[in-house]
């Protein structure tokens, strides 16, 4: 099914619901939209931070410890 057909089918079903159930559907739609917004925000933050050079100094940091410094090896 394409998007328009799905919207029409959902609209037909929603029109048949009583008010209390209509409120539940509205709340669920709000919940889904907020999840999409949060996902989009997280993806954009990841992209911004991965393209940023703010943490490049961490790649240049010298190694302070190696395996010889371990007291126990598992």
> In this predicted model, what pLDDT tens digit does every residue of 30-61 receive, in sequence order?
999 999 999 999 999 999 888 888 878 877 77
In whole angstroms, what is the distance from residue 4 CA to residue 8 CA? Answer: 6
Residues present in the chain in total: 74
pTM of whole model > 0.75?
no
Q: DSSP character for 62?
A: P
For 57, the token pair is 């100094």
Q: How far apart are CA 27 and CA 5, in angstroms?
A: 22
**49: Cβ–Cβ under 8 A, 6 or more apart, which residues?**
55
Tell me the pLDDT band of 15, cut-offs 50, 70 and 90: very high
């Amino acid at each position: 099914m394409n998007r328009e057909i799905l919207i029409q089918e959902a609209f037909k079903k929603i029109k048949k619901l009583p008010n209390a159930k209509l409120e539940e559907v509205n709340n669920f739609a709000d919940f889904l939209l907020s999840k999409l917004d949060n996902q989009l925000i997280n993806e954009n933050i990841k992209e911004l931070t991965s393209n940023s050079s703010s943490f490049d100094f961490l790649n240049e940091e010298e190694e302070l410890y190696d395996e010889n410094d371990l007291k126990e090896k598992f």
